[in-house]
């Protein structure tokens, strides 16, 4: 049982929701581990903050390199950051790392980078990676002006990739978003997958607390 977590954009709460899912699954006594295949932006030790959060929320003891096989210094588009580092992102390395983690855990939560179609190398993007992993997708919708278009385009891209959306999460990132509930309802009417939870705006969000807002019982494992 694994899921690929994507978002309607960068900075919409993918890591927060990914960690919250790990905590929620762990409360069911499951062995859980987070996986961040590609990260752009790291410290002097070549560790990415989001990947470290996933590692901290995991119950499976895994090395940093297992959880984040590709990490690049510049916090820019991953294919550009990789190019600047003189590296080409190779999916086979990611799939090997994923298989190793999946052999140790009941649930692997795979966090994508950026949005669903962000380029990863000259020919492949995040959608191609989700296809290669053959995982159902959970979409984090950053609730702010413009999210309807971003969310529906993301869902269309998932369908075009012949993948299933297992659910979506409404994460309120604009405390003053006008017509918030109406926007959520508009998405509920148009997205067939279940709404797994609405995360209220939090200046300092905590993934353990956020886990309480998620209804993971609505999740089903979908095969493409």
Give backbone dihedrals phi and psi of 182, rounded to 5 degrees, phi first: -65, -35
| Catalytic choice (14, 30, 36, 164) | 36
Residue among 174, 59, 167 nearest 107 (CA): 59
Burial class (CB in 10 A: 0-12, 13-18, 19+), 208: middle
CA distances in angstroms from 157 to 19, 139, 163, 196, listed in the order given = 24, 11, 9, 20
Task: Establish whether 36 is a catalytic residue.
Answer: yes
Q: Active-site residues: which are they?
A: 36
């Amino acid at each position: 049982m694994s899921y690929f977590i994507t978002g309607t954009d960068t900075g919409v709460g993918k890591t927060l929701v990914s960690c919250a899912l790990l905590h929620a699954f762990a409360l069911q006594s499951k062995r859980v581990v987070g996986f961040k295949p590609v990260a752009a932006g790291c410290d002097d030790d070549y560790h990415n903050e989001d990947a470290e959060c996933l590692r901290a929320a995991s119950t499976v003891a895994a090395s940093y390199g297992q959880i984040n096989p590709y990490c690049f210094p510049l916090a820019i588009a991953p294919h550009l950051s990789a190019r600047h580092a003189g590296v080409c992102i190779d999916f086979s390395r990611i799939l090997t790392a994923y298989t190793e983690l999946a052999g140790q855990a009941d649930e692997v939560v795979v966090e994508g980078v950026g949005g669903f179609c962000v380029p990863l190398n000259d020919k492949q993007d995040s959608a191609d990676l989700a296809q290669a992993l053959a995982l159902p997708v959970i979409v984090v919708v950053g609730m702010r002006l413009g999210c309807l278009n971003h969310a529906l385009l993301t869902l269309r891209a998932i369908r075009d990739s012949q993948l299933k959306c297992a659910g979506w999460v409404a994460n309120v990132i604009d405390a003053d978003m006008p017509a918030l509930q109406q926007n959520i309802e508009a998405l509920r009417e148009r997205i067939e997958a279940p709404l797994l939870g609405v995360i209220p705006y939090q200046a300092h969000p905590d993934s353990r607390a956020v886990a309480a807002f998620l209804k993971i019982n609505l999740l089903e494992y979908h095969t493409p």
